Structure 1
């Protein structure tokens, strides 16, 4: 469920929502970052002075060496630890393959909703996001 940001903590993050062939780009976090080994969508902290879109582009380049085009904000959420997340539907050239930066990302996957639902080691926002898409709360513009 979307919650107003102004009433919660100050730490902000951005999440890249990238589809290819009705599959969502999922990463497994490296063992050297917070929430090590967890599956999630790529993204990270919005630094002071950055727009959400700028932070998204920077984080995708840092984590996966990809250049994305932010399309539109599709969801907002708050992590259990109070980070305010902005989820951005983004475009990636179909010929570009993400390359994991091992300092931040252990694995890169393209998963269907069914494959995501079978996973167990995820950040809590990932299954919530998939459920919000399937319930119609979020429109991502592709079947999922």
Structure 2
């Protein structure tokens, strides 16, 4: 099975990041995570970050930097982790994909349940060094 590329958008605003709870229309509903989605054919990672954020929560963002790579726990996706700024705008979730949203600190993210192991590693090990 060929591994596909996906992006994770760590949306930052005022020292907090946007956490979403996966909605009923996606695999593994109920998990808390940053925004994420597949990179479409012909699309750059930056374009995928902008599109996925707009589709899932209606925000227009500016990708800043790719800061990590990891694999999903099932190995199907290589995740490209990007920070992105979302300085303005209201969060308007797509109800199929996003059940709930919260602006949280990294510490608050780690207290959410359930979260994926790779996301936990990111907030414990990668982001604090940024």
Name the TM-score, length of structure 1 as normaliser.
0.82
| Superposed CA offset, 1:97-139 (max 9, x none) | 2111101101110111221222221122221110123663xx2
Instruction: Answer 1 or 2: which has greater strand percent.
Output: 2
CA RMSD of aligned residues (A): 1.6
Gaps of 5+ in 2: none
1:43 to 10, 20, 36: 36
* Counterpart check, 1:133 vs 2:120: no
1:106 to 99, 113, 116: 99
Give the equivalent residue in structure 1 for 2:84. 90
- Count matched residues: 129
Give the equivalent residue in structure 2 for 1:13. 6
**Following the alignment from structure 1 to structure 2, what is the Cα–Cα distance between the partners of residues 21 and 109?**
13
Which has the greater radius of gyration?
Answer: 1
Q: Which runs of 4+ in 1 moved over 6 A?
A: none
